[in-house]
Structure 1
Amino acid sequence: MYLSRSLGVASLIVASVQAAVSSTGFTVSLTDVDYFLPPKPIAKISGCKELSTSFEDAMFVPFTVVKAQGYGVDVAALTASYAEDDVWQEGFMEAIYVQGSEFKPMNSSLTVLSGTSSKVLAPGPYFINAAGHVYEAWRLFSDVQGAFTEPAIAIGDGSYSVLPAGTVGQKHAIAVPSRLYFTKTAEKPLAGVRIGIKDIYDIKGLRTSNGNRAWYWLYSPANATAPPVQNLIDAGAIIVGKMITSQFANGETATADWVDYHEAFNPRGDGYQDTSSSSSGGGAGTASYPWLDVSLGSDTGGSVRGPSQVQGLYGNRPSHGLVSLDHTMPLSPVLDTPGLLARNPQVWMEAAQAMYGPNITITSNYPTSIQTLGWPTAVDDVADELLIDFLGNVTEFLSANATAFNVTASFDASNADIAPLTTFMNLTYALLITKQQTELVREPFYADYAAVHDGRLPFVNPVPLARWGWGDNQTYTVEDAVANKTIFQTWANETFLAPSPETCSKSLVMYVGSTGGTTYRNTYWDEPGVPFGFSNSRISVMAEVPDYVVPLGEAPYNSTITGHVEYLPVTANLMAAKGCDGMLFSLIGELYEAGILKESMVGRSGVTGGDILLKRDGSW
């Protein structure tokens, strides 16, 4: 009786344990390269006699799928381009599975898997187990630059989970699928494009941090995905993870202001320059990793454009209101926009078309008037030379006339009955971001945190605290700030940013982005303050017009980190009338095709590439 009862209890325990166990995927190593195999197989190959002798030492066998037609299969020719893929490697040639032909390969020394697949398999690398289950191969890369808050993987029901895998590198492991699996179509123009998402956008199944540890743990995983992200997913994009943001999307400078989370590392130059913010992770990751194609950031006062400038990337602040920002943390809803960072302008434009949908139209009739703001006219350094050459090339390309325009003087002359522009707009941005975020983010956050922590306050970084505290003491209202913004917007949209029925915008407006200046992350900074003032970068913010960063080259500086001459990006900004986003994308694409603009490289230099100084072997 005792024995029988003991066995019965044991059986119950085993049954209970088995019921609770589920696969979260597998991590395997092939020739010292780590891979993640998603938990669900994508197919089963039945009747494969070769499997019985292939699993003496391993749970999984790597193999390559090739597609072929005809009587002979030249495997070498069919796989010649596979080496360009960053997931496939020669180790996957341990066996092949020929799809589309019933005939044996010409190279008989290869192990050929026979049997029938339950579904058509895309070409590329896979793993198979003894039962014939086929798994995709997702290569694991280390986020050595600290660009991600959390890696992610889709779980097949429209939601995502945290990637349950790791690899060497002291940071998160990010998994990416083989590009060979994907074919772009009209319905899926971003098929296989790998995108990182700023951690202010909700993704169903994942927690959102907004750069704050208390927020991350206080709230449950999101039950919906933000529209900009969902639009990218619907177009076929592969979401690989959430990316570092400065806290509550406020502008923070490394290292002093970053307390809850560490700022990502800018790969350019000596590797210890500020990334700019708040889309810090997007800028760092896109400039560092060849396996990451695009990053989704947000731009309220410069949070896409700043990281694009200091890391030498293509980046855009769009016309305001192109896509809903539901399920996205607000800084100021009247200013917030979703923007993209990329190295290649064509991929950048394709992602933008998918994300903004019908609200963006690509047009190729361009203005023949260029208005420059604070553009250099004499060459005093390398940055001046790059900027002057670029203006000359664009002027020639468009057969345009370029003239200098003074925004401040023109506004003051047209609005003599109000204060000068720099005074009139001095508080506008600060009022909007502090008062709107206090109402929409701080107050409900503090109340929710206090409710579960006996009335306590959560930790908040110095910058948001300083800004919110200032806003609390202001008698000016959001309505006052919106009124001033509207006056400037109306004037700008009627003058130098006026629309045109023929060319969308009467003028192309250009101003200087970055000039290779340094902001070392090991500097001791003063206490944070409030973002007062008005500058060229605030024009698009207040006028609601598109403002795009393009990389031009790089300028030398003497690094106090390395004791050597290093190089940092030089960039320009292009603006046009509201709604002319498609025209700007098209123009930048044509300038790229003409060789006036170049693709930005990953690594230490956006021009020549090269290993980040942290690395020595080029491996990621």
Structure 2
Amino acid sequence: MAYTQLRTATFAELGDYSYYVRARKEASFAAHKTDLPPSAVTPLVVIHSNSKELSLDLIQRSLARFNEEDDVFQDGFAVGGYILVHFAQNSLVSSEAYVEPASDRILTTISDYPCPEGLVGLLRERSLQLLVSEGPDTIPEGPYFIEGQDIHQAWRLFPDHLAAFTAAVIPDDYAAQPNTFTTLRGSYSWGEGGQIAVPSKLYSQGSKLPLAGVRVSLKDNIHLNGVITTLGNRAYAELYGRKNASARYVDRLIAQGAVIVGKTKLSAFAGSEIPPCQCIDYFPPWNPRGDGYQGPSGSSSGAGASAAGYDWLDVAICTDTSGSMRNPAASHGLWGLKVTWGAIPMDGVVPACEFYDSIGILCRSPGTIERMVQAFRTVADAEPDSGSSKPPTKILYPTDWYPLENPDQQRLNEEFLRDLERFTGTQHSKISMSDEWSQSCPEEYKGVTLKDLLATTSEQLNRYDNVHNFDEFRREYKERFGKTAYVSPAHTQRWEISEKVTAEEREKAIKQGIVFRKWASEALFGNDSSVVMLVPQGRPGANYRDITTNTGGFGIPGGPGGPAFVISLLGVPQIVLPIGANKYQSRPSGREELAPQCTTLIGAFNTDLDLVRLAADTLRASGKPTELLTGRYAFPQRDPNEQGERGETVGVAVL
């Protein structure tokens, strides 16, 4: 008789924390070594030692280190369970050996290993049983659960209190195909609320993979094998269901050791939906900064909220078409990189506008962005990685966008510009792109102003692709379900506007976009990879999420000639960096709050890593913080009564 193996999921409560007991078996004990019933779930702590000396000090130091280094481990793992001390032969086995553990691995323990008296007291006090093993074959250090005789990883469950995720994902240990995922049962499949499961950081220690153990979320327009891509629209999720392959970029992340923990919310179709009234199919995420009632910005709203709100998440991967990463980066006070157009393959990412679409990276540390960029450097890269930033030969200051209307925002931008000049020894040069275009544009465009060129290029491309990339979706949905796919009123209006753009106008826009890119590379950057430009980004103060906006359609700040569209059209990399905060009197909290302030740098094609390092090195050289916090404040708070060198009150509003 044939039997069907049922999928099961085990959850455990240990102290104040909840855990998912991973289905995959890491190893098993010899049957006579534990007296646990088959259904029992018991905590286990694995400790490695290069020596063969078993001591109380070894156990205490290891437990203290686990508590300090790992947010999954807790003291409860060392109470009422087992401690396994493994003595390695010669040296510890590399963690790379544990990526796909043998399901038939048997750990044979030594029954008569001498135990010092001091350690006996600890074991009795904590009701622990000690197991000892030796040899080259073991599992990584850290917290585990024993279920029957089998050892399983412990994945801690963290609440998604900011409603940033559409799905918590875990490896599908029942799937025949490797690197297949499934939604965490009992959390959510594609809806609201839930918990995100993350593995112990200790499991990846010792691995040589560049992204080993890095916890990553994916924007929900990026395919993940075995998981639904919602695209922020319930009808889209209903029609296409679970994917049978991941995006190429995601496969590369996994191969480099990254841990995918969930998919984050976005405005429908990676467009522009603004709370409180425009986001219909999914509740918009909460922005943790300031009073907690600021808009999350989009379209990568969940990516921004999760990176700014959860210290258990290392990096949020998203996309940027016309500001989808840059806007949330500024609203949440985060580091963000819009990767050079075409530098990372977009296969398996739902397209919005192919001429603009790029991968975006959001996180709290420039070092994390460096790791993400370095992991994708290839032997074909033009130059070896020097490990340090390259001083620019020219710093451009575009008068098309500066000065900013808000004096405090302008002051922070100017302060960073001065810091950049001091650090690099290069003075900035003012430039008017409009004037430069008039003087040096191709002959066939003489008499066409830059404003007119952009008006028939940047928005036209975005509009045409945004509606027609989903022609097939609308048709297939109606054929299958006999009804029209629901789309929010805001996005319906967006599509109605976009329908007016013809295929001929799109072709003209593509041609003009290529001309503009080539012109900018020569006229602005001089085909020089060491030229950078300062570009403003973000709002100067409060942006309440409970205020109804009349912005319909696209609503891209600055319109076709603004920084968002122009930089997308150029295709160059752009680094968003937090430079301070502006004070505002909050209506919801009734107290003074801080709105994060950011600026950006752009450079020539494929200078992503140089831009990240230049921005970070400039801040460090001027004594400004580069590592960001989660929650209300992006920056560490100092005593408001502390006096700075120039006598002013020091606080995060003036960095």
Structure-2-length-normalised TM-score: 0.83
The alignment status of 1:402 with 2:428, answered yes or no, reads yes
The alignment status of 1:580 with 2:607, answered yes or no, reads yes
Question: For the structure 1 residues 356 and 560, does the alpha-carbon distance in structure 2 shift closer, same or farther, using more than 3 Å as the test?
Answer: farther
Q: Corresponding residue for 1:133?
A: 150
CA distance in 2 between counterparts of 1:25 and 1:103 reads 38
The alignment status of 1:484 with 2:521, answered yes or no, reads no
CA distance in 2 between counterparts of 1:338 and 1:47 reads 50
The alignment status of 1:411 with 2:411, answered yes or no, reads no
Question: For the structure 1 residues 331 and 164, does the alpha-carbon distance in structure 2 shift closer, same or farther, using more than 3 Å as the test?
Answer: same
The aligned amino acid for 1:444 is E
Q: Is the 8 A contact 1:194 1:239 kept in 2?
A: yes
CA distance in 2 between counterparts of 1:568 and 1:274 reads 11
The alignment status of 1:66 with 2:47, answered yes or no, reads yes
The aligned amino acid for 1:96 is I
The alignment status of 1:437 with 2:466, answered yes or no, reads yes
How far is 1:183 from its partner? 2.3
Q: Corresponding residue for 1:368?
A: 393
Q: Is the 8 A contact 1:203 1:229 kept in 2?
A: yes
Q: Give the one of 141, 144, 152 matched to 1:123.
A: 141
Q: Give the one of 52, 68, 72 matched to 1:87.
A: 72
CA distance in 2 between counterparts of 1:376 and 1:598 reads 25
Q: Corresponding residue for 2:24?
A: 40
CA distance in 2 between counterparts of 1:329 and 1:477 reads 23
Q: Give the one of 189, 193, 206 matched to 2:214.
A: 193
Q: Corresponding residue for 1:316?
A: 337
CA distance in 1 between counterparts of 2:303 and 2:295 reads 13
How far is 1:515 from its partner? 4.9
Q: Give the one of 85, 92, 108 matched to 1:98.
A: 85
The alignment status of 1:75 with 2:96, answered yes or no, reads no
The alignment status of 1:390 with 2:449, answered yes or no, reads no
Tell which deviates more after alignment, 491-500 or 203-212: 491-500
The runs of 5 or more residues in structure 2 that have no matched partner are 89-112, 639-655
The aligned amino acid for 1:278 is S
- Matching of residues 585-604 of structure 1 within 5 Å: 585-591=612-618, 594=621, 595-604=623-632
CA distance in 2 between counterparts of 1:355 and 1:172 reads 32
CA distance in 2 between counterparts of 1:366 and 1:229 reads 32
Task: Encode CA deviations 1:170-221: one digit per residue, 9 max, x unaligned.
Answer: 82210000101112644x1111110000000111111111111011011131
CA distance in 1 between counterparts of 2:595 and 2:289 reads 6
Identity of aligned residues (%): 29
Q: Corresponding residue for 1:343?
A: 364
Q: Corresponding residue for 2:275?
A: 254
The aligned amino acid for 2:602 is M
CA distance in 2 between counterparts of 1:568 and 1:359 reads 42
The alignment status of 1:526 with 2:513, answered yes or no, reads no
Task: Encode CA deviations 1:302-323: one digit per residue, 9 max, x unaligned.
Answer: 1111111111111111211012
CA distance in 2 between counterparts of 1:605 and 1:297 reads 23
How far is 1:397 from its partner? 1.0
Q: Give the one of 474, 477, 482 matched to 2:501.
A: 474
Question: For the structure 1 residues 437 and 538, does the alpha-carbon distance in structure 2 shift closer, same or farther, using more than 3 Å as the test?
Answer: closer
The alignment status of 1:544 with 2:571, answered yes or no, reads yes
Q: Give the one of 101, 119, 134 matched to 1:107.
A: 119
Q: Corresponding residue for 1:498?
A: 526
How far is 1:104 from its partner? 3.5
How far is 1:70 from its partner? 3.0
Q: Is the 8 A contact 2:464 2:501 kept in 1?
A: no
The aligned amino acid for 1:45 is F
Question: For the structure 1 residues 336 and 593, does the alpha-carbon distance in structure 2 shift closer, same or farther, using more than 3 Å as the test?
Answer: same
Q: Corresponding residue for 2:110?
A: none
Q: Is the 8 A contact 1:229 1:355 kept in 2?
A: no
The runs of 5 or more residues in structure 1 that have no matched partner are 1-14, 611-620
Q: Is the 8 A contact 1:376 1:388 kept in 2?
A: no
Tell which deviates more after alignment, 415-424 or 276-285: 415-424
Structure-1-length-normalised TM-score: 0.88
Task: Encode CA deviations 1:410-466: one digit per residue, 9 max, x unaligned.
Answer: 2234347233222221242222122223332x2111111111122x21001233322
SS class of match (1:600): coil
The aligned amino acid for 1:97 is L
Tell which deviates more after alignment, 460-469 or 332-341: 460-469
Q: Corresponding residue for 2:450?
A: 421
Q: Is the 8 A contact 1:556 1:567 kept in 2?
A: yes
The aligned amino acid for 1:269 is G
Q: Corresponding residue for 1:565?
A: 592
Tell which deviates more after alignment, 388-397 or 334-343: 388-397
Question: For the structure 1 residues 103 and 549, does the alpha-carbon distance in structure 2 shift closer, same or farther, using more than 3 Å as the test?
Answer: farther
